[in-house]
Amino acid sequence: MNVWYMNGAGNDFMVIDARGKTYDFKQLALDLCKITGADGFMAVDHSDKADFKLHFYNSDGTRGEMCGNGARCICRYAYDNGIAGENMVVETDAGLVPGWRLSENQYKVQLNNPGVLDLRRKPDAAYVELGDPGVPHAVREVPGLRWEDGDALKEMACALRHDPAFPKGANANLYTWTGENEVRILTFERGVEDYTLACGTGSGSVAVTLWAEGKLPGGRLAVHNQGGTLTVTIEGSDGKVNAIYLEGPTEVVREYEI
């Protein structure tokens, strides 16, 4: 089995081509992610709705609805392996996701529009699901947030991830403003049960929350993750989100023969 170890802004994945094959994806996720300590596992499959289908699993073997950085990486995997061209559509559990190759390393995807956007789910935290069913995210502002504060904030982030206000659990996205149209974020991810170096849907959820609150009039946000900067662009009007785009770097770290 050929396995690619990839990352998008530090968010890392083990990736295989599963077209025409039958695998136990849950077990593969558990086994392969242990090799590198990857955040997740992805498999490409046939689709009758898109260029290909994405199966996404967290490192603990739980299935995820979608993954923004994972989608960007799987687009590169598909292009580099001749599965799709420079413009493609990916079938995910959260819906169809268009993707574009911008350069050898830069890829962009259109994230799913919010299936749920509740700015007041908790007094100090919004709740966002991108897609229907969507990836669940809690968004909380932590003024002055620094990445080195992660250990001190972990108990709070873990409690937010498991808060009963979020019926499916939630990725906990903590953010602070660092400039005009710029934020720094720290994400404690469901299924990884720890911080990750970047979160694509988390970056999109923070941007959607700020846009819906009227704090992002231009609709474009630079999101500084520990592993790299992602750019989110939101198109919408009258309080309705029409499109969300996520772009940033991808990297093929290593290939394994298992």
Positions marked catalytic: 67, 199
Task: Give the CA count within 13 Å in the CB-facing half-sphere of 234.
Answer: 30
Q: Mind giving me the DSSP string for 4-23?
A: EEEEETTEEEEEEE-TT---
Q: Which two tokens stand for residue 242?
A: 């029409």
Distance of CA 10 to the CA centre of its chain: 11
Taking the C-alpha atoms of residue 7 and residue 33, their distance in angstroms, rounded to an integer, is 13
Amino acid letter for position 37: G
Amino acid letter for position 125: A
108 and 246 in contact (C-beta within 8 Å)? yes
224 and 183 in contact (C-beta within 8 Å)? yes
DSSP annotation of 75: H
Closest CA to 86 of 103, 111, 68: 103
